[in-house]
């Protein structure tokens, strides 16, 4: 009787899974559709893109690959790519370090400063960037004159992203890290600093991976802040460099836009695929230890 029920449940579960799989596939295609369009059209001439967006091969000018070298040359691809990598990697690492630490002290202590900074950080997530734009360039350009350094942008990126990262780490610490664990570490003679790095931080793996990918993406794609901070051409990042393909009046060089889009997306896509594996591993290893 018990076994029979089990078999039935298993069969039902199987059917549900097949239905879900189909639903997921349909949604997947819908989600991926714009990219399929981008990919197909990146290999077509502008006239074919504008007039035959669905054609796999352009009826007028045929299959072309010239959009890629053209786009790469016009945006000085390898130069801006290097800048983007330096900035994204440094800012992501700093964000992960600073916000995890900040979240730890803020979540575990009910001090005034902690509550204040946490409230400010939450509130700051809803500030329209336009409000800060002019003040930032006035202060850091006009008064301190530190614009046009990669470091300035890295620190600014970090400053902007610590609030959300702290918010996410704080949620993870609150729900996933048992207080008893920290108390045990304390009894074993760990300082708070050691407790954090040796006990807490390793358990935050999934959150770290999530924050890393989200922030890395944001830094990689950000246009507005880098365009304000880095005005010297040798310092340009990928999003600033791609601006050249957009006309200021609504007309653009779609072939190059799409080629540049694919070029800019690939590195971050690879990073995500690597990270995703880590997210899964992080969760399992955390579960085993916990």
Partner 1 sequence: MKKFITAIATVTAAALAVTPVMAATDLTVFNSKSEIQTQFEEEAPVYSEAAGVNMEVAMSNDPVITHMGTRYASNNPYVLSMVDAKDIYSLTPEHGIDLADTKAAADTDYAIEIDGKVAALPFCIEARGIMYNKTAIEDITGEEFNPADYATLDAFKELLDKLVDGGMDAPVAIMKEDWSLAAHYLAQWVEEQEDPEAYVEQLVAGEGDIINNEKFNSLMDTFDVLMEYNYAKDAAVNADRNKSEDMLAWGDVAFMFGGNWDWSLIVQSESDSEMGMMPVPQNTDDGTNEKLVGGGSKYFFIDSSVSEEQQQAAKDFLDWMATDPDGQDFVSNTCALASPYKSNTLDVSDPLSVSVKAFADAGNLINNYNFFPDDHITKCGATMQKYLGGEIDREELANELTEYWKGAAVIEH
Partner 2 sequence: MKRNTMSYKIRQYLMFAGPATILFCGVVVIPLVYGFYLTFTSWDGISKSKPFVGITNYIAAFGDGAFWVAMGRTLIYSAIAVILVNVMAFLLAYMVTRGIKGQNFFRAGFFIPNLIGGIVLGYVWKFVFNSAFVAIGENLNIGFLKNSWLGTPSGAMACMIIVAVWQYAGYMMLIYVAGFMSVSKSLIEAAQIDGCTQSQATWKVIVPLMRSSFVQCIFLTITRCFMVYDVNLTLTEGGPFNSSVMAAMHVYRTAFTEHAYGTGQAEALILFIVCAIVGVTQVYIGRKGEVSA
Binders in 128-157 for partner 1, by CB under 8 A: 133-134, 137-138, 140-142, 145, 147-151, 154
- The residues that bridge with 252 in the sheet, in sequence order, are 246
The DSSP annotation for the chain comes to -HHHHHHHHHHHHHHHHHHHHHHHHHHHHHHHHHHHHHHHHHTS-HHHHHH-TT-SSBTTTBS--THHHHHHHHTTHHHHHHHHHHHHHHHHHHHHHHHHHHHHHHHH---HHHHHHHHHHHHHTT--HHHHHHHHHIIIIIIS---S-HHHHHHHHHHHHHHHHHHHHHHHHHHHS-HHHHHHHHHTT--HHHIIIIIIHHHTHHHHHHHHHHHHHHHHH--HHHHHH--SGGG--HHHHHGGGB-TTS-B-HHHHHHHHHHHHHHHHHHHHHHHHHHHHHHHHHHHH-
Minimum CB distance to partner 1 smaller for 48 or for 182: 48
Nearer to partner 1, 133 or 270 (CB): 133
Minimum CB distance to partner 1, residue 81 (Å): 15
Which segment (29-37, 179-187, 231-239, 267-275) binds partner 1 by CB under 8 A?
231-239
Which partner in partner 1, partner 2, none is near 280 (CB below 5 to 8 A by kind)?
Answer: partner 2
Select from partner 2, partner 1, none the partner in contact with residue 263, using the beta carbon and a kind-dependent cut-off of 5 to 8 Å.
none
Residue 264 touches partner 2, criterion: CB under 8 A: yes
In the complex, the smallest distance separating the C-beta of residue 1 from partner 2, rounded to whole angstroms, is: 15
Q: How far apart are CA 143 and CA 137, in angstroms?
A: 9
Tell me the Cα Rg of the chain: 24
Give φ, ψ of 246 to 5 degrees: -95, 125
Contact partner, 190, from partner 2, partner 1, none, Cβ < 5-8 Å per class = none
Instruction: Name residues contacting partner 1, limited to 39-58 (CB under 8 A).
Output: 45-47, 49-51
93 binds partner 1 (CB under 8 A): yes
Which residues between 161 and 190 bind partner 1 (CB under 8 A)? none
Q: How far apart are CA 33 and CA 64, in angstroms?
A: 21
Residues 60-89 that bind partner 1 (CB under 8 A): 61, 74, 86
Binding mask of the shown chain, residues 186 to 205, with x at each position contacting partner 1 by CB under 8 A:
-------x------------
Number of residues that bind partner 2 (CB under 8 A): 107
Decide which of partner 1, partner 2, none touches 38; Cβ closer than 5 to 8 Å per partner kind. Answer: partner 2
Number of Cβ within a 10 Å radius of residue 107: 19
Give the bridge partners for 246, in sequence order.
Answer: 252
Which segment (59-67, 70-78, 79-87, 109-117) binds partner 2 by CB under 8 A? 109-117
Report the residue from 221, 244, 278, 285 that binds partner 2 according to the rule CB under 8 A.
Answer: 221
Is residue 223 a contact residue for partner 2 (CB under 8 A)?
A: yes
Where does this chain bind partner 1 (CB under 8 A)? 45-47, 49-51, 61, 74, 86, 90, 93-94, 97, 133-134, 137-138, 140-142, 145, 147-151, 154, 193, 227-228, 231-235, 243-244, 246-255
């Amino acid at each position: 009787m018990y076994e029979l029920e089990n078999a039935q449940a298993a069969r039902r579960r199987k059917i549900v899974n097949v239905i879900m799989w189909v639903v997921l596939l349909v949604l997947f295609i819908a989600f991926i559709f714009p990219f399929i369009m981008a990919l197909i059209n990146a290999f077509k001439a502008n006239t074919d893109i504008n007039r035959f967006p669905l054609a796999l091969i352009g009826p007028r000018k045929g299959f072309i690959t010239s959009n890629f070298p053209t786009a790469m040359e016009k945006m000085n691809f390898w130069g801006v790519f290097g800048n983007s990598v330096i900035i994204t990697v440094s800012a992501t690492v700093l964000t992960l370090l600073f916000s995890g630490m900040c979240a730890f002290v803020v979540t575990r202590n009910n001090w005034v400063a902690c509550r204040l900074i946490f409230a400010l950080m939450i509130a700051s997530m809803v500030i329209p960037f336009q409000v800060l734009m002019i003040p930032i360039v006035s202060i850091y350009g006009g008064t301190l004159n530190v614009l046009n350094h990669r470091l300035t942008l890295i620190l600014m990126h970090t400053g902007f992203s610590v609030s959300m990262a702290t918010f996410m780490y704080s949620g993870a610490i609150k729900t996933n890290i048992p207080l008893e664990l920290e108390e045990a570490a304390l009894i074993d003679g760990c300082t708070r600093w050691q407790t954090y790095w040796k006990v807490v931080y390793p358990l935050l793996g999934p959150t770290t991976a999530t924050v890393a990918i989200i922030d890395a993406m944001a830094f990689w794609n950000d246009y507005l802040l880098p365009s304000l901070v880095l005005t010297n051409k040798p310092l340009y990042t990928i999003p600033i460099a791609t601006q050249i393909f957009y006309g200021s009046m609504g007309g653009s060089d779609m072939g190059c836009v799409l080629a540049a889009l694919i070029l800019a997306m690939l590195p971050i896509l690879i990073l995500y695929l690597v990270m995703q594996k880590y997210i899964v591993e992080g969760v399992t290893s955390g579960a085993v230890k916990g």
